[in-house]
Amino acid sequence: VLPFPSQVVYNRVGKCGSRTVVLLLRILSEKHGFNLVTSDIHNKTRLTKNEQMELIKNISTAEQPYLFTRHVHFLNFSRFGGDQPVYINIIRDPVNRFLSNYFFRRFGDWRGEQNHMIRTPSMRQEERYLDINVCILENYPECSNPRLFYIIPYFCGQHPRCREPGEWALERAKLNVNENFLLVGILEELEDVLLLLERFLPHYFKDVLSIYKNPEHRKLGNLTVTVKKTVPSPEAIQILYQRMRYEYEFYYYVKEQFHLLKRKFGLKSHIRKPRPRPEFFIPSPLETEEPIDDEEDDEKWLEDIYKR
């Protein structure tokens, strides 16, 4: 009997550092002897009912302990009679994620493999070199909803309403984070994410931070940085903020929960000057500057999480 979960799913959000984490997982799976199950499907996140059943069946019958990773919206295993695995994920500032994806689709990264040409072979030259400001200000489909409603569906799930920007999908995503995810980290604080993963899931992530900090690994990681990125004008960014207001409400909610978790386990963040929050109509999330009042034993808390 394993002291920690033997079934882990990382349903990675696109352009949120997942290739860096998968590089680490390949090393860790050899080091610790767990079964890393990856998928070659990168562009099918929404599944029919039969596709959900088939994927859940395939995942559930993998040799344990396993860690399954794929770009796919949240799957409810229990709905189809399966055991719900432990979920983990990482998100980032929504505008930064969007910009990274916009330029990656067009120009790839430093690996020089022309992956972007393979990924978007039918993209016309005028579209490939479309100025980001024009795309946003003139409301091209790629720079407007529903394309900008991207992060929340990974946590909301497979229901059709999860793809509709609005309160329903937002609240369902928050509920799933609370009930089904052991950890949702913030890419801007990746080292702390890795520290917590090592604490919570040592069978999978022991020594992950030392591997991540290794200069040779850093060289590999730097090759996955998107090239030719430019910064939109302040006017264009403000429009993106408005269009992504639900994404930002979710992002700040997850960030607040992540910081609560860090304080619970005694992690001290490096103090950086916070970026100003975008000014739109959603209220700022509840600030939690004081340590939470909790007499519960840390290990007991972990056991309860694993029993979910």
**Could you say which of 32, 42, 71, 159 is catalytic?**
71
Q: Which of 131, 130, 127, 97 is nearest to 13 (CA)?
A: 97
Q: How far apart (Å, rounded) are the C-alpha atoms in residues 306 and 5?
A: 7
DSSP state of 142: G
DSSP state of 217: H
Q: How far apart (Å, rounded) are the C-alpha atoms in residues 152 and 98?
A: 13
If you search the block for the tokens 């409400």, which residue do you land on?
249
User: Is residue 32 annotated as a catalytic residue, yes or no?
Assistant: no
Q: Please say whether the beta carbons of 127 and 67 come within 8 A.
A: no
* Secondary structure (3-state) at 304: helix
Question: What is the CB neighbour count within 10 angstroms for residue 192?
Answer: 21
Helices (H), ranges, the chain: 18-32, 49-60, 94-107, 115-119, 125-128, 132-137, 153-156, 167-180, 190-200, 202-205, 208-213, 215-222, 234-243, 245-264, 298-307
Q: Which residues form the catalytic set?
A: 71
